[in-house]
Amino acid sequence: MRTSMLSKNKSTTSHLELFNFYKDSSLARMINFINEAIVVVDSNGTMEMVNTNASSLLGLSRDELLSENLLNFINDETGQIQSHVIQCLDNAAQNALETPPFEVSLTQRSQSHRDISVEISVSSLPEELSSSNSLFFCILRDLTLHKAEYAALKRKAETDFLTGLANRHKFSDYLSSQWTKCSSEGSPLSVILIDIDHFKAFNDEYGHIAGDRCLKRIGELLSLSMPNRDTLAARYGGEEFAIILPNCASQTAQLLAIRIKRHLAQLSARHFVLASNKKLTVSMGVATNENQRYENITSLLQAADTLLYQAKSRGRDQICFL
């Protein structure tokens, strides 16, 4: 039975016959013992064998999956991913070991119809296991949990613990990507540096815990003052903050700096008054890359830093811009 079925031409063997044959083959029995979701497909993506893990991942019983094509589970409006999968099957047929795993989004057919991210790794089966019809062994790995964990870790790695703003690392990455984007579009890019004045005196007078609370309040205020989703506020250093404003001309950046300074003054008057009755103030430097004024990110940041120190040396509690 085995030899005659295998030697039969695929076109004269119905899918049901093939499936029933494969269902009882030693390979089909073996894949049920592997602790991965596995489907065996032909070169068009039609499923020939499915193990129990794959059946629960795809949300249909093994028998229901018989008439299904793996490609029909893939979310792919443009059809590009499906072509890529077919190409991977072709590649796997040529060189099984050089087909890298790829990621797709699948819709589960269970009641929830949930979309899940899955990594598929394809290998071709040797001829003695697949008859004249090329078969491919696909391992499907659910990446949903892994992706959620990765996103949470990434968020943590990019966030300043105390203020909840972006940290310096995220600031650098974002500035770098926005520099490239704005330069290629010929649009302006502004940076505002903000440094709290005499913060050491505040810490000395009220202690570090009150100092931390103050930094947190300023972080909240900055976060609420951002004009749009492209704007990024970050904690740049100990008592220093920075704002990246893509597509923002110098005048608009200056107006935003003035507004933030006014809001900070109101916050300070309510919460952060020093013993000498002096309020906590900030100094700011605002620099804008317009008409290729600066050669690179470093010179833009240096300009903002120089302007900030100008504000400090002129007596603090002020904004300097070009």
Ligand X SMILES: Nc1nc2c(ncn2[C@@H]2O[C@H](COP(=O)(O)OP(=O)(O)OP(=O)(O)O)[C@@H](O)[C@H]2O)c(=O)[nH]1
Q: What distance in Å separates the CA atoms of residue 68 and residue 43, rounded to the nearest whole number? A: 13
Nearer to ligand X, 141 or 312 (CB): 312
Contact stretch for ligand X (CB under 6 A) within 17-25, 63-71, 91-99, 189-197: 189-197
Write the DSSP assignment of 125-180 as a string of letters: PPHHHHTTS-EEEEEEEE-HHHHHHHHHHHHHHHB-TTT-SB-HHHHHHHHHHHHH
CB of 210 to ligand X, least distance (A): 8
197 binds ligand X (CB under 6 A): yes
Using CB under 6 A as the binding rule, the residues of this chain from 230 to 289 that contact ligand X are: 238-239
Q: What distance in Å separates the CA atoms of residue 109 and residue 70, rounded to the nearest whole number? A: 12
Q: What distance in Å separates the CA atoms of residue 192 and residue 322, rounded to the nearest whole number? A: 12
Residue of 48, 68, 239, 240 marked active site:
239
Using CB under 6 A as the binding rule, the residues of this chain from 96 to 135 that contact ligand X are: none
Residue from 208, 259, 271, 314 touching ligand X (CB under 6 A): that is 208
164 binds ligand X (CB under 6 A): no
- Whether the CB-CB separation of 250 and 149 falls below 8 Å is answered with no
Contact stretch for ligand X (CB under 6 A) within 16-24, 130-138, 205-213, 258-266: 205-213
Q: What distance in Å separates the CA atoms of residue 269 and residue 191, rounded to the nearest whole number? A: 26
Residue from 42, 48, 195, 317 touching ligand X (CB under 6 A): that is 195
Residue with tokens 């900055």: 222
Contact stretch for ligand X (CB under 6 A) within 52-60, 122-130, 191-199, 256-264: 191-199
Q: Is 239 a catalytic residue?
A: yes
CB of 311 to ligand X, least distance (A): 10
Residues classed as catalytic: 239
